[in-house]
Amino acid sequence: MTFQDAFNEIKSIFIHSDLRDYYGHLVMQVTMTGEGGGTFYIEFKDGSLAVEPYDYRDHDLLFIADTNDFLQIARGEMNVVAAYTVGKVIIEGDLSKASEIQRLVGWTHR
Protein backbone atom coordinates (compact mmCIF):
# COMPACT_ATOMS: atom_id res chain seq x y z
CA MET A 1 0.00 0.00 0.00
CA THR A 2 1.30 3.46 -0.87
CA PHE A 3 0.84 6.61 1.18
CA GLN A 4 -1.59 7.89 -1.45
CA ASP A 5 -3.72 4.73 -1.12
CA ALA A 6 -3.82 5.00 2.67
CA PHE A 7 -4.47 8.76 2.58
CA ASN A 8 -7.32 8.39 0.08
CA GLU A 9 -9.02 5.75 2.22
CA ILE A 10 -8.66 7.79 5.39
CA LYS A 11 -9.93 10.94 3.66
CA SER A 12 -12.97 9.06 2.36
CA ILE A 13 -13.76 7.91 5.92
CA PHE A 14 -13.28 11.28 7.63
CA ILE A 15 -15.12 13.28 4.97
CA HIS A 16 -18.37 11.72 6.23
CA SER A 17 -18.01 13.20 9.73
CA ASP A 18 -21.08 15.19 10.78
CA LEU A 19 -19.76 18.57 11.84
CA ARG A 20 -22.89 20.68 11.39
CA ASP A 21 -22.99 21.50 15.11
CA TYR A 22 -19.24 22.02 15.57
CA TYR A 23 -18.08 25.62 15.92
CA GLY A 24 -14.43 25.72 16.73
CA HIS A 25 -11.03 25.07 15.24
CA LEU A 26 -9.04 21.92 15.80
CA VAL A 27 -6.17 20.47 13.78
CA MET A 28 -4.83 16.95 14.09
CA GLN A 29 -1.64 16.07 12.27
CA VAL A 30 -1.10 12.38 11.60
CA THR A 31 2.29 10.83 10.93
CA MET A 32 1.98 7.26 9.74
CA THR A 33 5.05 5.05 9.88
CA GLY A 34 5.97 1.86 8.08
CA GLU A 35 4.71 0.84 4.66
CA GLY A 36 2.57 3.60 3.18
CA GLY A 37 3.84 6.06 5.77
CA GLY A 38 3.63 9.80 5.44
CA THR A 39 2.15 12.91 7.03
CA PHE A 40 -1.22 14.58 6.60
CA TYR A 41 -3.57 16.73 8.61
CA ILE A 42 -7.25 16.82 9.45
CA GLU A 43 -8.72 20.24 10.20
CA PHE A 44 -12.10 20.72 11.84
CA LYS A 45 -13.25 24.32 11.50
CA ASP A 46 -16.72 25.77 12.10
CA GLY A 47 -18.69 22.88 10.67
CA SER A 48 -16.30 22.02 7.87
CA LEU A 49 -13.52 19.50 7.40
CA ALA A 50 -10.27 19.51 5.45
CA VAL A 51 -8.06 16.46 5.03
CA GLU A 52 -4.86 17.33 3.19
CA PRO A 53 -1.55 15.52 2.54
CA TYR A 54 0.62 18.24 4.06
CA ASP A 55 2.45 19.06 7.26
CA TYR A 56 0.50 21.45 9.54
CA ARG A 57 3.06 22.82 11.95
CA ASP A 58 0.63 24.70 14.20
CA HIS A 59 -1.47 21.60 15.01
CA ASP A 60 -3.34 20.99 18.26
CA LEU A 61 -2.58 17.27 18.29
CA LEU A 62 -0.06 14.95 16.74
CA PHE A 63 -0.94 11.30 16.19
CA ILE A 64 1.92 8.93 15.36
CA ALA A 65 1.02 5.37 14.40
CA ASP A 66 1.89 2.61 12.03
CA THR A 67 -0.08 3.00 8.79
CA ASN A 68 -2.00 -0.25 9.31
CA ASP A 69 -2.86 0.66 12.90
CA PHE A 70 -4.15 4.11 11.94
CA LEU A 71 -6.20 2.60 9.13
CA GLN A 72 -7.75 0.18 11.62
CA ILE A 73 -8.59 3.08 13.94
CA ALA A 74 -10.10 5.10 11.08
CA ARG A 75 -12.17 2.10 9.93
CA GLY A 76 -13.45 1.48 13.44
CA GLU A 77 -11.65 -1.85 13.74
CA MET A 78 -9.43 -0.67 16.61
CA ASN A 79 -10.44 1.54 19.52
CA VAL A 80 -8.26 4.65 19.68
CA VAL A 81 -8.19 4.68 23.50
CA ALA A 82 -7.10 1.05 23.61
CA ALA A 83 -4.51 1.71 20.90
CA TYR A 84 -3.13 4.64 22.92
CA THR A 85 -3.10 2.57 26.12
CA VAL A 86 -1.02 -0.22 24.59
CA GLY A 87 1.30 2.15 22.70
CA LYS A 88 0.04 1.50 19.16
CA VAL A 89 -0.58 5.22 18.77
CA ILE A 90 1.33 8.10 20.29
CA ILE A 91 -0.68 11.25 20.91
CA GLU A 92 1.12 14.51 21.60
CA GLY A 93 -0.79 17.59 22.66
CA ASP A 94 -3.93 18.28 24.66
CA LEU A 95 -5.61 14.92 25.31
CA SER A 96 -8.96 16.64 25.93
CA LYS A 97 -8.81 17.71 22.28
CA ALA A 98 -8.16 14.09 21.35
CA SER A 99 -11.43 13.26 23.11
CA GLU A 100 -13.13 15.98 21.07
CA ILE A 101 -11.85 14.43 17.84
CA GLN A 102 -13.09 11.04 19.04
CA ARG A 103 -16.56 12.50 19.42
CA LEU A 104 -16.50 14.35 16.08
CA VAL A 105 -15.55 11.32 14.01
CA GLY A 106 -17.56 8.78 15.98
CA TRP A 107 -14.64 6.84 17.47
CA THR A 108 -16.39 6.79 20.86
CA HIS A 109 -18.94 4.33 19.47
CA ARG A 110 -16.33 1.83 18.29
Q: Are 4 and 40 in contact (CB under 8 A)?
A: no
Question: In the chain, pLDDT over 70 holds for what percent of residues?
Answer: 96
Q: What is the CATH number for 62?
A: 3.30.1050.10
The residue that leads in pLDDT, 105 or 107, is 105
CB 41 within 8 A of CB 10: no
Q: In whole numbers, what is the pLDDT of the chain averaged over residues?
A: 89
How many structural domains compose the chain? Answer: 1
The arithmetic mean of pLDDT across residues 26-43, rounded, is 96
Q: What is the mean pLDDT of residues 83-104?
A: 86
Answer whether residue 109 shows pLDDT above 70: no
Other CB atoms within 10 A of residue 3 CB: 16
Torsion of CA 80, 85, 87, 90, to 10 degrees: 60
Residue 51: band (very low, low, confident or very high) from pLDDT cuts 50, 70, 90: very high
**Rounded Cα gap, residues 72 and 101, in angstroms:** 16
Domain that holds residue 79: 3-109
Say yes or no to pLDDT of 27 above 70: yes
